[in-house]
Amino acid sequence: MILIGDEIIPYEAIYKISTVDDIKNTMPNSTVIFEYNSDLMTYCKNNSVKYGVIVSSLKEAVYANALGAKYIISDIKLASKLQKIAQNYMYDARILAVISDDSQIEDIALQEIDGAIYSYLI
């Protein structure tokens, strides 16, 4: 299970961005995260930038996976649905549910979601 943002477990450098210029100002080999945006996803794919996409629908998740997202991020309810789709179609992207504290980790594990990301990062 992936846990991003937990104070006990080391995690990769994550940067919340909203423009291509923001991407250019991040450290090399970091992962950028942004709200669903097809232009940013295309830029990241074409420039080999690791990225996570915050989605609000299954359709957005399908596009994010097709465009090479490392992480597909959503609320817990949607993440549970996305995980089933991701397993069926063998997505390369990992599904992450947004959590606010570690009391939610057990729920994420029981729903067999790939991982969790703390809300303060997004």
Which domains are assigned to the chain? 2-121 (3.20.20.70)
pTM: 0.94
Model pLDDT for residues 10-41, shown as the tens digit of each residue:
999 999 999 999 998 999 889 999 999 999 99
| Per-residue model confidence as pLDDT tens digits over 47-91 | 999 999 999 999 999 999 999 999 999 999 999 999 999 988 888
pLDDT of residue 46: 96
Beta strand ranges found along the chain (DSSP E)? 2-4, 14-16, 31-35, 50-54, 71-74, 94-99, 115-118
